[in-house]
Structure 1
Amino acid sequence: MFAQLFVLSAQGDRLLYKDLRGDGGADLPGAFFRRITALPGVRAPVFLEAPDGQGRPFAHVRHAGLYLVATLLPGASPFGAVEFLNRLASLLRDYCGALHEQTVSLNFALIYELLDELLDFGYIQTTRPDVLKNFIQMEPVVSQPFSLLDLSSVGLFGADTQQSKVAPSSAAARPVLPLRGEQGARPEVFLDVVERLSVIIAANGTPMKTDVQGEIRLKSFFPGFSEMRIGLTEEFCVGKTELRGYGTAVRVDECSFHSSVKLDEFERSRILRVTPAQGELTLMQYQLADDVPSALPFHLFPTISHDASGRLQVYLKLRCDLPPKSHAVNVCLHLPVPRASLSLAQELSSPEQTAALQPSTKSIEWLVPRVQGGSQLSALFKLEVPGLSQALLRELGPLNLSFEVPAHTCSGLQIRFLRFSGPQPNLPYRWVRYVTHSESYVIRLHAG
């Protein structure tokens, strides 16, 4: 199925390379990186023809800034390859902790041992952590850099849990299998409700597209095989015609479940039943389009003016429409400006904000570490644009906003309870967390 498998950093550095059949070229990672960086921003298609004279395509996925890449044999399924690479990323988190460049560098011997058990002459043997743990002998080297953008590093933003406690910041940034000396530690289970928000807003402020892609992820450090029962919001309904309960309905257009999830109680009580092995598992995926029940997290009010001398002024007022008890972190506004722009002067509403003109991309990046719900920020940017014309003004925008909202879901989906069935001598700690990411939050400045 696979001929070669390798892992590259975001800069194209080769972190791992395994030639599974002995017929690969040494420059395949370099050829892949040159091809992927030459693609436009959307980076499609996913599968690229490998220039190795054999016509083998590349299949790749990206996790935590790393490229996981495989070259495919003739007749191999590209969808199966993507599924395997995503599963490989989960296994690397299971065995090494948080997935990032330093973790891969520190654990390359363990990862090579893992690949030897996963693949035989390019063919997949198994991806089950409970089977693989019987053969893996290497001990992981744990590295725990804190990153709000990485869901495997938690205490996510200090979100409250069912026990009104906060998980230690490094709690989920460690391997699932216990290290020597940790055998007696009380196990833990993390349940994450993750939503990605895609929005396009017209120049007049009207939302043109709103889409929420959500999933419920389970990461279990519990070595037992007890059944787990997960209660969702009772008013959760699928489709526009179904109504449930008497409270405010939580509606999605469609949802799907992992094959291991038992749904015999879902229709009646909105309860998912699963018997998880150690490791990471996506229990449920769902989608909601257009009719998002909560207000959009941010609204932007731009004012643009210019004079005959080539001075362009952009005044941006950013309003956070989250509830006052909520907040957003890592807020970044990216504004393309005319290519002829020479310099930037700025006036920001608070000292913790920063902004800069990026010469390579000809864009302004406005960074705000944290924004409280109900608050408002502003920025005035003054650009020197020689020969400013209407054609150059059309190069301004659209704006792209990226952010993260902890302890918040746009759909309103909540976890009612997380329980283990039957008596347990050593029940694990249970942490429930919510987070919303901006997948694409585009605000147009011009009509049409």
Structure 2
Amino acid sequence: MGYGPSGVYILDMKGKTIIHRAYRRDAPASTTVSDRFTRLVLEAEEENIKPVFLHNDINYMWIRYNNLFIVGTSALNANAMMVFAFLYKLAEVLTHYFRELEEESIKDNFVVTYELLDEMIDNGYPQTTEYKVLREYIKSESHRLQQEEEQQAVVPISVSNAVSWRSEGIKYKKNEVFLDVIERLNLLVASNGNVLRSEILGVLKMRTLLSGMPELKLGLNDKLLFEATGRQTRGKAIELEDIKFHQCVRLARFENDRTISFIPPDGEFELMSYRLNTHVKPLIWVESRVEHLSSSKLELVVKAKSQFKTRSIANNVQILIPVPNDAASPNFKTTIGLVKYDPTQDSIVWTLKQFQGQKEYMLRASFTLPSVASEDRNRFQKIPIRLIFEIPYFTVSGIQVRYLKIIEKSGYQALPWVRYITQNGDYQIRML
């Protein structure tokens, strides 16, 4: 597993330490960190700057946040990913407390920052890192340190038990769970329709409004689950890759029988993310051709076809078609949507509020060109067409939530709501 940071240091843009906390004896002095960081990062050549570096047997790991550098150090075999995860979590928590995390907000809140540094890490090991739990007993408004005899009473149970991300005593009049399955499609397609690259990046986002300490169980149409349990599936089973879970998920249970079991945080959080490298045909296919290109005129014909099922509708579709950088006097003809010329992007932007499945539309565009052609006038045909869209109630991968069970000792009934959304990622179609 490795060690966490032996010390955490927050530096200004000149490399001077604003505040620091040493957690183990191997933590270097703040002046040493400031000196090393200034020489090896701020004054170094750009190609030599690294997020992790070793100097005099001390490992330095750092991130930049606004006008601050947040640095973690360790002389031992530190787990770099753990350190970086903590540094980003620290920045997130401080932002919650101060609204804006910057040099002035740290200088105005030394007491609270020290309290948070003490509570969030112990002997180099991250402890409580959830803002909703920390705010129960570290109040940014009051900055008051409580007496030793009072402290035992105010520390919430969630800090001492295994569920540090959720407080006890949460109550709602109406218990509900909202689950969004969002997939982004990265796609690169050649002008002849051959898919050169396709990748699906998925995320499951939840919003839980549940009383007590509920146990949730989520079932997906996971191919490995069906294979492990010997069950048959009527529909499509998918094989998820690069799965990452929120800390609330019981990893041992998942590795054992692919069951996603967890006690959720209160409110919004990201339950899991995944990736799929799979061949996907373009959901929206666009082709363009130059019908007339002379020294004084350009005419383009653009066809857009939706290749998903008729019952689905893509919303807020934008098709960005490149044109020469010296084009002028735009003129457009289309039976649907709005078209505008965006000279800042050297593109036509064709906007369709709704694009139903299995439909095809056409756009004709003409421009005048200066009689003296620029050297790179034809370069626009080498720039790919880009698309922006969102398709609700639809997933590219075919992932399905088979069940979402909510169990709580009081026995209340809760309503789960599930939505599916597909969005564009880096979606490009080549013109040539």
1:371 to 352, 355, 362: 355
Aligned to 2:237: 250
Aligned to 2:71: 72
Give 1:414 shift: 0.7
Structure 1 Cα separation of the partners of residues 208 and 243 of structure 2 = 21
What residue identity is the alignment partner of 2:234?
G
What residue identity is the alignment partner of 2:405?
R
Report Cα offsets for 1:194-242 as digits up to 9, x if no partner.
Answer: 2111000001111111111112233323242221111212x63489999
Aligned to 2:63: 59
Alpha carbons 1:252, 1:286 under 8 Å: kept:
no
Please give the secondary structure, in 2, of the residue aligned with 1:83.
Answer: helix
Structure 1 Cα separation of the partners of residues 265 and 226 of structure 2 = 31
Structure 1 Cα separation of the partners of residues 352 and 112 of structure 2 = 40
Alignment partner of 1:381 is 2:385:
no
Structure 2 Cα separation of the partners of residues 317 and 270 of structure 1 = 44
Report Cα offsets for 1:273-330 as digits up to 9, x if no partner.
Answer: 11123244433332211334xx431111212133333211221111112212211122
Alignment partner of 1:412 is 2:414:
no
What residue identity is the alignment partner of 1:220?
T
Aligned to 2:134: 132
Pair 340,81 (structure 1): closer, same or farther in 2 beyond 3 Å:
farther
Structure 2 Cα separation of the partners of residues 228 and 423 of structure 1 = 12
Q: Quick check: 251-260 or 189-198, which moved more?
A: 251-260
Structure 2 Cα separation of the partners of residues 184 and 190 of structure 1 = 15
Aligned to 2:10: 3
Aligned to 1:287: 275
Alignment partner of 1:324 is 2:310:
yes
Give 1:192 shift: 1.9
Structure 2 Cα separation of the partners of residues 219 and 329 of structure 1 = 24
What residue identity is the alignment partner of 2:307?
D
Give 1:134 shift: 1.2
What residue identity is the alignment partner of 2:379?
R
Report Cα offsets for 1:74-122 as digits up to 9, x if no partner.
Answer: 66987557635765798799x79xxxxxx979xx99xx89977644699
Give 1:383 shift: 2.2
Aligned to 1:53: none
2:220 to 212, 232, 249: 232
Structure 2 Cα separation of the partners of residues 424 and 272 of structure 1 = 22
1:29-44 to structure 2, matched below 5 A, reads none
Pair 307,226 (structure 1): closer, same or farther in 2 beyond 3 Å:
closer
Structure 2 Cα separation of the partners of residues 92 and 374 of structure 1 = 49
Count matched residues: 354
Give 1:376 shift: 2.3
Give 1:419 shift: 1.2
What is the TM-score normalised by the length of structure 2?
A: 0.65
Aligned to 1:142: none
Report Cα offsets for 1:119-141 as digits up to 9, x if no partner.
Answer: 469977632245224136589xx
Please give the secondary structure, in 1, of the residue aligned with 2:380.
Answer: coil
Alpha carbons 1:59, 1:78 under 8 Å: kept:
no
What residue identity is the alignment partner of 1:431?
W
Give 1:2 shift: 4.7
Please give the secondary structure, in 2, of the residue aligned with 1:135.
Answer: coil
Alpha carbons 2:207, 2:267 under 8 Å: kept:
yes
What residue identity is the alignment partner of 2:63?
A
Alpha carbons 1:118, 1:125 under 8 Å: kept:
no
Aligned to 1:300: 286
What residue identity is the alignment partner of 1:416?
R
**Structure with the greater alpha carbon radius of gyration:** 2
Report Cα offsets for 1:158-193 as digits up to 9, x if no partner.
Answer: xxxxxxxxxxxxxxxxxx999xxx965324322221
Pair 47,312 (structure 1): closer, same or farther in 2 beyond 3 Å:
farther
Structure 2 Cα separation of the partners of residues 220 and 5 of structure 1 = 38
Aligned to 1:210: 198
Give 1:432 shift: 1.3
Structure 1 Cα separation of the partners of residues 227 and 299 of structure 2 = 45
Alpha carbons 2:172, 2:211 under 8 Å: kept:
no
Aligned to 1:26: none
Uncovered stretches (5+) of structure 2, i.e. residues with no partner: 1-7, 21-29, 32-48, 54-59, 142-164
Report Cα offsets for 1:339-365 as digits up to 9, x if no partner.
Answer: 222332222322x42422233x32222
Alpha carbons 1:346, 1:380 under 8 Å: kept:
yes
Pair 299,270 (structure 1): closer, same or farther in 2 beyond 3 Å:
same
What residue identity is the alignment partner of 1:249?
K
Aligned to 1:438: 424
Aligned to 1:200: 188
Alpha carbons 1:408, 1:434 under 8 Å: kept:
yes
Structure 2 Cα separation of the partners of residues 332 and 114 of structure 1 = 46
What residue identity is the alignment partner of 2:396?
C
Structure 2 Cα separation of the partners of residues 262 and 300 of structure 1 = 44
1:402 to 388, 412, 417: 388
Alpha carbons 1:237, 1:244 under 8 Å: kept:
no
Please give the secondary structure, in 2, of the residue aligned with 1:393.
Answer: helix
Structure 2 Cα separation of the partners of residues 244 and 183 of structure 1 = 38
What residue identity is the alignment partner of 1:3?
I
Alpha carbons 1:310, 1:385 under 8 Å: kept:
yes
Pair 92,346 (structure 1): closer, same or farther in 2 beyond 3 Å:
farther
Give 1:435 shift: 1.3
Structure 2 Cα separation of the partners of residues 273 and 394 of structure 1 = 53
Pair 429,254 (structure 1): closer, same or farther in 2 beyond 3 Å:
same
Give 1:57 shift: 9.0
Aligned to 1:356: 341
